[in-house]
Amino acid sequence: IILSIMEHHANIVPWHFLRDRLGVVLKWVECDPNGDLDPSVVLAAITSRTKLIAVTQMSNVLGTVVDVAAICQGAKAKGVPVLVDGSQAAVHMPVDVAAMGCDFYAITGHKLYGPSGSGAIYIHPDRMVEMRPFLGGGDMIDQVTRDMVTYNKPPMKFEAGTPSIVAQIGLGVALDYMMKIGMENIAAHERLLRDKAIEKLSELNFLTVQGTSPSKGAIFSFTLAGAAHAHDISTILDQKGIAVRAGSHCAMPLMQHLGITASCRASFAMYNTFDEVDALVNGLMLCNDILS
């Protein structure tokens, strides 16, 4: 299974389960110093033993947007299925799984303004036929006797028992809300926020931003010069009403690759304003004054 170094733990740990149970080998491909992932590097890692490529569409740490369509196209030519982790990307940009050409596309509700614990996965119809059910219960069966079980048609054969009905309805409402605003409109607004943030943050000579891909999303992970810890930075920013994430961001292999133990991450979204970019910059200047 080929993985990129930028993967969230949610797209790493399940494959470790398979490694421990079945002896699956995990092969890692790395991003360049800007945080870009070259599709050709991913495709070059394919061998006769490759069974799956699992890759994020957007790094939750660096903001890198991966050309997953190119990966899917190249992998398909070699007969290798591709799972795309869209958890970070789907809230920021339009997604067309048919045009992308992926076999699987996973999303999580809490990053789409939906309820915690909700989510969904797209499975290409051809893959649905190949796959066996992984949960047993009501609705996923056709017939049950003492001696045999026949399964429902896909996708119902994967939907065992009573789902989290309220959470999934909430996710649907959240998606309808975003579709009404328009994903192109959301993406355009966030690009403007990203461009201003790049301009303003580049003026802070005490700040190191991880990930400088020109096509990145409006996500900025950073460290301050000196011994300032990410948790201290986030505490000061919090006192100024600025919400950031501090830590390894569930991406420890990437942190190790970058040579850091933790960072702060500011993530701009459709509801953020230009004034809030300025507020972040002012907050970071205060952090530097206190912690330098």
Catalytic residue set: 250
Beta pairing class for 82-85 and 53-56: parallel
Beta pairing class for 119-123 and 104-108: antiparallel
- β-bridge mates for residue 144, sequence order: 149
> Is the separation of the CB atoms in 103 and 81 below 8 Å?
yes
Identity of residue 141: I
User: For the chain, how many residues are written?
Assistant: 292
Place of tokens 């699992």: 54
> Is the separation of the CB atoms in 246 and 233 below 8 Å?
yes
Following DSSP, what letter does each residue of 122-157 receive, concatenated?
EE-HHHHHHPPP-S-SSSSEEEE-SS-EEEPPTTGG
Neighbours of 195 (CB within 10 A): 12
The tokens for 251 are 């991406």
Q: Where are the beta strands (DSSP E) in the chain?
A: 2-4, 27-29, 53-56, 82-85, 104-108, 119-123, 141-144, 149-151, 207-210, 219-224, 245-247, 263-267
Distance, in Å, from the CA atom of 57 to the CA atom of 188, rounded to the nearest integer, reads: 18
DSSP assigned state of 113: T
